[in-house]
């Protein structure tokens, strides 16, 4: 009996030792998590430079990378897996655009890495943007697309938001957003004026505070343009749209509704777009639908609309984490732009699927970010209320 | 089924019957099987990686590849649950209880036969019911708002908590514990952090893969290695046992049909994952188990129910994906990505003008399942042989797979620690005879339940409880709670009366529990006799 016990404990000890060894092995393999491997290595002392990498000029792998940054030609993603992070649940517009890019951008990144798309929904994109800020490797192997509201959230110290809009490396956007508010036809409203004048409480579905499904109806309601009951908590835009089809919500304010639910707007369809953001000059604006810039609102309301329009101008924004070496950023930005503007397959898929593309580079995005981050201190309480539902 | 639907069914069949489609489907089946058989990895990653290759294909070919992969990886995942007690993915956890229980009792071959056959029959029944139901699918889905979805999640949690464990109160407490842990991370409504202790890696919540494989797989492989036994222990297997499982399944055809209908109904609901379908089918199946003592330890009904559901739900969960653009699982989400890229727009047209295309997807699933089952039956004997391999031999390779699987999902070392932590918890639960299934289902469904409850209250106030669907599902939930507890109280009274009448002879040894660890609380969780 004692021998049996002894054997058992010896077995247990062996098992524990084996587990420890496995854990150490996994830990050693996990270096990419903190960015110590990957393309950024090409900017650090290169100990094992791949031979004849991309046919570009090769530099001597010497020990002074900080003094002399490597040439862009040294950046290679060969053998890497690039992760494209998507802040929304699968099935929506963000997801589709991101997956189109994931299918194309590997062709333009040196070393032609594998690219996989990964959804990371939650907290109106705060989960993913925080991940990008803190956890993504700083080597160019991860970049993501998220709701622009996280940039404003960072400005107003939104709880849980640790995104730094000036620290990340913006890549640009394939399409600046215009938010369209669609309402079920069975409500009987033919125009936005009908809705406003009816005084009827209208339920709209929303993915959460900080997103345009929330702040657009909130701003409209604040200045007397509609009595909206905003139901938040839908996991993604596809669930929020389904709520409208189910009758759980009377309408929704979201970008690209006419693209993602085209059957709603056919003859005898479910819903109609009655109002849209912007001033009507944006690519995605719909003719014959009034814009909110046309509404008569006080100056304070106009400034809120301007912030919202800047956020939506950032659109389906893409960024890389902070602290990525400059040469890697340049290479990824070039690949990003080439994919959106020149990749024939991507452009054909976008056309086939009805996904418009109006590419804007990182400078466009940075300008909008600057206008968001320069809000005045006295505007913050109103911003908190209209964008985050927090009454002061 | 009206004439137009039947015509669409035939058109869908003809569009799948061409060489290219069948070859791509075969390639998908082989790839899905190889990846699905690796514990913890599942087919989702493979689907995501394969997605770009489908961009240049026509829709039927693209979906032949992807659905072939999905079907075979689902079945292969089920097999690892049965043979090693290691769920291939989170969806297959329901099969661990009785499937692995049968393996431990030396009936691994029979369990494999049952799970493969029920899987195929489930796919066929699923497709058949779906074809009949197409005209009413859209109204059903549209009627299931957030309150009804909340009621379904509650039904799932209580079904498993109360029925599966054999100890309703204990099961419900553990289900509640699972729900509690599902709240770790960022609140989806307000963005507030909960139980994250300032650790950014927890902001997205505890990962399903590390929790599931930690809870189920680690304790079993650990226990086997320490005791230096095989899965089957000393229990002898029978030579014809695979075919015995096949025969068992046909004998339980009525259960197969009922499980398929349950899985289809839940698969149709947008936003609910496949694990709910499998668990509810499991709960239903074991309620009718002939030998209640075997529930959770190797009842054949507990294999056939979830085995049927695992593939029956796939056809159904295509519907919310293609008709509403709302995928019920990550796999379906990836399919949706392929769908959109193909220029197909999810909407009602997929159930009307595009119905032949929708049916072609269903046909691909049917063919894939048949081919996968034949493939699996060919290797069934070798798989069964795994149950006789010593735990110390299995330990290292399985541990590597578990560590890789837990690390790979988010490339997070914390997830490896979480897996080990839940492994320790699972080991204690196993030793103390605390049911692990309710905990895992509570964990899986807790987040969904919270979300749907929040929306229901926000949208309808307290009026949501008076909706007919909620009342119906709520009634089923209450029945699921009250009946097992009543039965247990009655059983306790019968036992008490018997003890008064007979002199105490000590605990009756349970000769049927071969292979499993000694269950300290097992005596109290057994029905005495004749209880239904």
DSSP B452-504: HHHHHHHHHGGGGGGSHHHHHHHHHHHHHHHHHHHHHHHHHHHHHHHHHHS--
**Amino acid B507: pLDDT:** 45
A182-191, B147-156, B403-412: least confidently modelled range: B403-412
Q: How far apart are CA B141 and CA B129, in angstroms?
A: 15
Contact B271, A238 (CB under 8 A): no
Closest partner CB to A22 (pick from B186, B324, B403)? B403
Decide if A19 and B392 are in contact by the 8 Å CB cutoff: no
Question: Which tokens sit at B60?
Answer: 């039927």
Q: Is B317 on the interface with A (CB under 8 A)?
A: no
Q: Is B397 on the interface with A (CB under 8 A)?
A: no
Closest CA of chain A from B461, distance in Å: 11
Strand order of the sheet with strand A201-206?
A: A227-232, A201-206, A251-255, A179-184, A271-276
Q: How far apart are CA A84 and CA B203, in angstroms?
A: 19
- A284-323 residues touching B, CB cutoff 8 A: none
Decide if A117 and B48 are in contact by the 8 Å CB cutoff: yes
A202-216, A293-307, B329-343: least confidently modelled range: B329-343
Residue B359 confidence class, pLDDT cut points 50, 70, 90: confident
pLDDT at A15 over 50: no
**Amino acid A343: pLDDT:** 94
Q: What does pLDDT average to over chain A?
A: 79
What's the gap between Cα B388 and its chain centre? 25
Mean pLDDT of B107-118: 88
- A229-268 residues touching B, CB cutoff 8 A: 231-235, 238-239, 241-243, 245-249, 260-263
pLDDT at B503 over 60: no
Say how many C-beta atoms besides its own lie within 10 A of residue B461's C-beta: 9
* Chain B residues within 8 A of A201 when measuring between CB atoms: none
| Residue in the structure block whose two tokens are 């109280």 | B489
- B419-448 residues touching A, CB cutoff 8 A: 420
Question: Which tokens sit at B220?
Answer: 């079993």
Chain segment B380-435, per-residue pLDDT in tens = 777 777 777 777 787 888 888 788 877 766 667 788 999 999 999 999 998 888 88
B127-136, B232-241, B519-528: least confidently modelled range: B519-528
Closest CA of chain B from A56, distance in Å: 28
State the complex-level ipTM: 0.76
Decide if B186 and A233 are in contact by the 8 Å CB cutoff: no
* Chain B residues within 8 A of A345 when measuring between CB atoms: 55-56
* Chain A residues within 8 A of B187 when measuring between CB atoms: 123
Closest partner CB to B413 (pick from A11, A27, A114)? A27
**Amino acid B181: pLDDT:** 93
Mean pLDDT of A215-238: 91
**Amino acid B512: pLDDT:** 36
**In Å, what is the CA distance from B49 to each residue of B31, B44, B140, B411?**
12, 9, 33, 16
Contact B217, B85 (CB under 8 A): yes
Radius of gyration from C-alpha coordinates of chain A: 25
Decide if B191 and A161 are in contact by the 8 Å CB cutoff: yes
Q: Which of the two residues, A17 and A322, has the higher pLDDT score?
A: A322
* Contact pairs from chain A to chain B, CB under 8 Å: 195
Residue A339 confidence class, pLDDT cut points 50, 70, 90: very high
pLDDT at B82 over 70: yes
Closest partner CB to A22 (pick from B49, B326, B399)? B399
* Residue A128 neighbours by CB under 8 Å, 6+ apart: A85, A86, A87, A120, A121, A122, A144, A146
Of B200-209, B263-272, B441-450, B484-493, the range with the highest mean pLDDT is B441-450
Residue B517 confidence class, pLDDT cut points 50, 70, 90: very low
Q: Is B193 on the interface with A (CB under 8 A)?
A: yes
Q: What does pLDDT average to over chain B?
A: 78
* Chain B residues within 8 A of A241 when measuring between CB atoms: 325
pLDDT at B511 over 70: no
Closest partner CB to A30 (pick from B51, B326, B413)? B413
Q: Is A90 on the interface with B (CB under 8 A)?
A: yes
Q: How far apart are CA A368 and CA A307, in angstroms?
A: 9
Q: How far apart are CA B245 and CA B107, in angstroms?
A: 9
Q: Which of the two residues, A37 and B122, has the higher pLDDT score?
A: B122
Q: How far apart are CA A174 and CA A97, in angstroms?
A: 8
What's the gap between Cα A265 and its chain centre? 27
Decide if A243 and B407 are in contact by the 8 Å CB cutoff: no
To test the contact with chain B by mutation, choose from A229, A246, A347, A355 the residue with the greatest count of B C-beta atoms within 10 A, namely A246
């Amino acid at each position: 009996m004692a021998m049996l016990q002894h054997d058992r404990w010896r077995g247990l000890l062996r098992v524990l030792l084996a587990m420890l060894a496995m854990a150490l092995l996994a830990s050693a393999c996990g270096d990419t998590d903190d960015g110590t491997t990957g393309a950024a290595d090409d900017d650090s002392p290169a100990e094992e430079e791949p031979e004849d990498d991309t046919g570009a000029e090769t530099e001597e792998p010497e020990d002074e990378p900080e003094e002399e940054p490597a040439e862009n030609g040294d950046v290679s993603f060969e053998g890497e897996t690039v992760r494209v992070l998507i802040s929304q649940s699968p099935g929506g517009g963000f997801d589709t655009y991101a997956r189109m890019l994931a299918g194309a951008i590997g062709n333009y990144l040196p070393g032609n890495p594998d690219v996989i798309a990964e959804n990371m929904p939650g907290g109106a994109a705060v989960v993913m943007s925080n991940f990008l800020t803190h956890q993504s490797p700083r080597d160019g192997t991860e970049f993501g697309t998220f709701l622009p509201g996280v940039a404003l959230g960072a400005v107003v110290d939104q709880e849980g938001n640790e995104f730094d809009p000036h620290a990340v490396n913006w890549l640009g956007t394939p399409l600046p957003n215009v938010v369209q508010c669609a309402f079920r036809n069975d409500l009987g409203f033919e125009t936005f004026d009908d809705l406003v004048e009816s005084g009827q409480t209208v339920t709209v579905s929303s993915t959460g505070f900080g997103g345009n499904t929330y702040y657009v109806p909130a701003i409209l309601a604040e200045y007397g343009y509609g009595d909206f009951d905003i139901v938040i908590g839908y996991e993604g835009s596809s669930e929020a749209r389904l709520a409208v089809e189910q009758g759980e919500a009377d309408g929704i304010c979201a970008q690209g509704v006419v693209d993602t639910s085209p059957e709603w707007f056919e003859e005898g369809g479910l819903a109609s777009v009655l109002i849209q953001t912007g001033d009507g000059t944006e690519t995605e604006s719909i003719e014959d639908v009034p814009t909110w810039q046309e509404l008569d609102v006080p100056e304070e309301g106009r400034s809120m609309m301007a912030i919202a329009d800047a956020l939506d101008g950032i659109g389906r924004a893409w960024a890389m984490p902070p602290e990525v070496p400059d040469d890697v950023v340049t290479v990824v930005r070039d690949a990003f732009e080439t994919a959106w503007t020149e990749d024939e397959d991507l452009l054909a898929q976008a056309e086939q699927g009805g996904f418009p593309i109006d590419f804007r580079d990182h400078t466009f995005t940075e300008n909008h970010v600057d206008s968001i981050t320069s809000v005045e201190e006295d505007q913050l309480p109103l911003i908190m209320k209209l964008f985050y539902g927090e009454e002061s | 089924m009206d004439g137009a639907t039947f015509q669409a069914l035939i058109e869908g069949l003809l569009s799948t019957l061409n060489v290219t489609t069948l070859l791509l489907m075969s390639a998908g089946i082989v790839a899905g099987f190889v990846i699905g058989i690796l514990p913890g990895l599942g087919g989702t990653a493979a689907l995501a990686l394969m997605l770009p290759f489908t961009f240049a294909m026509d829709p039927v070919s693209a979906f032949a590849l992807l659905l072939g992969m999905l079907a075979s990886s689902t079945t292969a995942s089920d097999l690892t649950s049965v043979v090693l007690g290691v769920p291939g993915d989170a969806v297959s956890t329901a099969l661990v209880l009785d499937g692995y229980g049968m393996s431990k009792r030396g009936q691994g071959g029979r369990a494999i036969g049952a799970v493969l056959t029920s899987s195929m029959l489930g796919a066929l029944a699923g497709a058949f019911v779906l074809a009949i139901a197409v005209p009413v699918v859209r109204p059903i889905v549209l009627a299931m708002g957030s309150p009804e979805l909340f009621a379904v999640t509650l039904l799932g949690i209580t079904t498993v908590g109360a029925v599966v464990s054999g100890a309703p109160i204990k099961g419900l407490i553990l289900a509640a514990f699972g729900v509690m842990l599902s709240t770790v991370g960022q609140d989806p409504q307000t963005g507030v952090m909960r139980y994250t202790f300032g650790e950014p890696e927890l902001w997205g919540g505890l990962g399903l893969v590390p929790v599931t494989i930690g809870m189920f797989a680690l304790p079993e492989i650990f226990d086997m290695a320490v005791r230096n036994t095989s899965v089957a222990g000393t229990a002898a297997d029978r030579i014809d046992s695979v075919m015995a499982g096949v025969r068992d399944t046909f004998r339980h055809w009525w259960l197969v049909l009922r499980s398929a209908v349950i899985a289809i109904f839940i698969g149709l609901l947008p936003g609910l994952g496949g694990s709910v379908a499998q668990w509810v089918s499991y709960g239903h199946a074991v309620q009718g188990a002939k030998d209640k003592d075997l529930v959770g330890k190797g009842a054949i009904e507990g294999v056939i129910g979830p085995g049927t559901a695992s593939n029956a739900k796939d056809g159904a969960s295509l519907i919310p994906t293609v008709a509403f653009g709302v995928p019920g699982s990550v796999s379906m989400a990836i399919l949706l990505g392929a769908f959109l890229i193909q220029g197909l727009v999810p909407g009602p047209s997929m159930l009307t003008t595009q119905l032949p295309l929708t049916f072609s997807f269903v046909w691909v699933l049917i063919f894939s399942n048949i081919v996968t089952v034949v493939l699996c039956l060919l290797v069934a004997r070798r798989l069964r042989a795994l149950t006789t391999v010593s735990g110390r031999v299995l330990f290292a390779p399985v541990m590597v797979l578990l560590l890789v699987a837990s690390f790979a999902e988010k490339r997070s070392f914390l997830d490896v620690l979480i897996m080990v932590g839940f492994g320790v918890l699972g080991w204690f639960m196993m030793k103390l005879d605390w049911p692990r299934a309710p905990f895992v289902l509570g964990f899986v469904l807790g987040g969904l339940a919270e979300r749907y409850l929040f929306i229901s209250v926000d949208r309808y106030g307290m009026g949501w409880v008076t909706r007919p669907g909620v009342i119906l599902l709520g009634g089923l939930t209450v029945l699921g709670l009250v009946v097992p507890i009543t039965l247990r109280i009655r059983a306790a009274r019968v036992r008490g009366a018997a003890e008064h009448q007979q002199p105490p002879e000590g605990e009756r040894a349970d000769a049927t529990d071969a292979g499993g660890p000694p269950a300290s609380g097992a005596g109290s969780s057994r029905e005495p006799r004749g209880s239904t």
